[in-house]
Structure 1
């Protein structure tokens, strides 16, 4: 075969292959053109995932800095490390009556400061303070006296109690998971089993009461003999009886 014929044959083969390649490219271009377009962000790591729920912003807590020690404050506004079971806003109490319009825990600033310090120490040991009662308006004291007019159980509202001064709290301890420690009786149990000087109790109960008592006394509170749950702030006994009332949700 002559060189010219070989050259022409090879040239024809090349042209054929180029035509096939071009046809395949046109098919690919057509498929790409018809396919749905997906925008890929330049930096996908910085793009928000819209399938995830919106981030819930943490409510900012207030600070006690600059407030007068005798100002009344809502404790939950200054810490979310407490637990509440405000019994007098229910009928689950020794009165068998609801005497608060709604459940809130208010104290004076100096009481709150001492409670925050005590609770910080409890948390380091694996516990938290749980409240049964805090500041009590004097008008509520009158309601309680009308139901149980016995100074052994309810302070005479004419003189008032330290609860009415914003310097007393009724409390227990719970674990960080919310489980109450065994204190031997329920809140508002008026009998010898609730006395601090009653040592005829299981060792665990005595240890739980001692933990509560020693820690609260360390931070400026003192207890009363007949109620393991009741603590008065030493610096709050000379304040005036108050009738400050908080607003309830409408």
Structure 2
């Protein structure tokens, strides 16, 4: 009988130990994350914090601001910071898009409307310091192509932009010509163009006009803010090292 009880105790110990070991393994399997889960956690940890944008609170309408500080919804191809322009010269030290606050507000509203159609504004030029206007005039001293810096242009006032539209995936809409094409094909009143081009120009023009801008007849890309035409010509220069 003593041998029977001894064997029974040994059997119970064996079962208990097995269950404990099995339970421990099950617990470990339940608690330990998979390699995929660990990889996901690491990726989440490396993700940059969402960018915060500035607001216009306490900023005067005539203050110069950098558009990229207020939205990431625009696209840029700032040609005069490269040699890919009609001057064939780089006249900006670096590619930045600044405007007055009132111009920026109008552009943001226009861009929100464009996005409803699946497109967004792409900038070729924005505010232009008057010193840059002098550089341009020195290269091409012809008022048909470059405004005389003594008088200045609305670009020098922070109220003009040169723009096109692109899809939200980054494909430019066909406007019939490239930026700074000087010829009748770039005129707003030239209707001898493909229907698709006319529709794209119409979308650009009507939306910009709705938000306080006006165009000039000979350049489909150029828009002036009505409220910015009376501002003073400026020579504010941005910091390229920001």
Shared fold per TM-score greater than 0.5: yes
Identify the match of residue 21 of structure 1 among 11, 17, 27.
Answer: 11
Q: Which residue of 2 aligns with 1:79?
A: 71
Q: Which residue of 1 aligns with 2:34?
A: none
CA distance 1:110–1:20, shift in 2 (3 Å): same
- Cα deviation, 1:18-70, whole Å, max 9, x if unaligned, reads 243156269759979xx9x95976xxxxx986543413201100001221000
Structure 2: where are the runs of 5+ without partners?
A: 32-36
TM (normalized to structure 1)?
0.86
Provide the rounded CA distance (Å) in 2 between the counterparts of 1:71 and 1:130. Answer: 22
Q: Which residue of 1 aligns with 2:98?
A: 106
TM (normalized to structure 2)?
0.88
* 1:44-63 alignment, distance < 5 Å: 50-54=41-45, 55-63=47-55
Find the residue that maps to 1:131 and give its secondary structure.
strand
Q: Which residue of 2 aligns with 1:118?
A: 110
Structure 1: where are the runs of 5+ without partners?
A: 1-10, 42-46
Q: Which residue of 1 aligns with 2:130?
A: 138
Q: Which residue of 2 aligns with 1:247?
A: 239
Is structure 2 residue 64 aligned with structure 1 residue 67? no
Provide the rounded CA distance (Å) in 1 between the counterparts of 2:119 and 2:18. Answer: 68
CA distance 1:30–1:82, shift in 2 (3 Å): closer
Provide the rounded CA distance (Å) in 2 between the counterparts of 1:21 and 1:107. Answer: 85
Q: Which residue of 1 aligns with 2:150?
A: 158
Number of corresponding residues: 233
Provide the rounded CA distance (Å) in 2 between the counterparts of 1:76 and 1:123. Answer: 17
Higher Cα Rg, which structure:
1
CA distance 1:20–1:173, shift in 2 (3 Å): same
Find the residue that maps to 1:52 and give its secondary structure.
helix
Provide the rounded CA distance (Å) in 1 between the counterparts of 2:29 and 2:200. Answer: 63
CA distance 1:31–1:246, shift in 2 (3 Å): same
Provide the rounded CA distance (Å) in 2 between the counterparts of 1:40 and 1:69. Answer: 60
Provide the rounded CA distance (Å) in 1 between the counterparts of 2:43 and 2:122. Answer: 35
CA distance 1:82–1:26, shift in 2 (3 Å): closer
